[in-house]
Amino acid sequence: MKKIVKLDCYTLMEPDIVAILQLEQGEALTNSASIDEYLSRLDVRLNRWPIAEDGSTHSLLAQPSLDETQKESVLRSLDHYFESLGGYESRDLIVLNPETPNLDGLLAKFSRPHTHADDEVRYIVDGEGVFGFVCPDGSQMELTIQPEEYINVPAGTEHWFYLTSLRRIKAVRYFVDTTGWTPDYTDTVIRMQALAV
């Protein structure tokens, strides 16, 4: 059983943290307090949300792709999180894997530094991905997130996203208004090495 610790407005994951924060200087952090310290500089929130031991949900999440009915079934099983957030009007489930048509084209939209007019809120339920960030001092860092991790990237935060070598992710996306989620690209050059595995 994973221990969940409340600290101010953040929920830290201890001791079974999965997220890895890679700093530009090459240091990799896996300690939840250290990760939280860096993320809090950007007001990024990272939480652990367990997926209930529901056989049908886990069975669906084990499949490489899902039809719309299956996606809705997964979403309904997780709606208690959606309802607890407050202020969000809609949610969907994005399913990406090596068989997804035009996967590289889809990912290219988000692999360049950009911002959004609205928060980017994701709950990873399968696979893994990497969020890169530009810090207030201009340094960069990348956060690898995995199943049962929820992230809220505030509006206006300069970031990018890509998949790890697994090239697979299932993520619930939460929206206040989907129009605010259009990427506004910046001219920042990514200096990070793609270190996530």
Question: What residue segments make up the domains of the chain, in order of their start?
Answer: 18-185
| pLDDT tens track for 62-107 | 999 999 999 999 999 999 999 999 888 999 999 999 999 999 999 9
For residue 4, the model assigns a pLDDT of 39
For residue 182, the model assigns a pLDDT of 86
Q: Rg of the chain's alpha carbons, rounded to an integer?
A: 16
| pLDDT tens track for 113-165 | 999 999 999 999 999 999 999 999 999 999 999 999 999 999 999 999 999 99
Predicted confidence band of residue 17 (pLDDT cuts 50, 70, 90): low
Determine the straight-line distance between the first and last CA of the chain, rounded to whole angstroms.
25
Smallest CA-to-CA distance from 117 within 180, 60, 191 is with 180
Predicted TM-score (pTM) of this structure: 0.87
DSSP string, 10-44: EEEEESS---EEEETTS-EE--HHHHHHHHHTTT-
Domain at 18-185: CATH architecture: Sandwich (2.60)
**The dihedral sign for the CA sequence 142, 135, 118, 87:** positive
Distance in angstroms (rounded) separating the CA atoms of residues 20 and 29: 6
Report yes or no: 185 and 108 within 8 Å, Cβ to Cβ. Answer: no
Distance in angstroms (rounded) separating the CA atoms of residues 79 and 56: 15
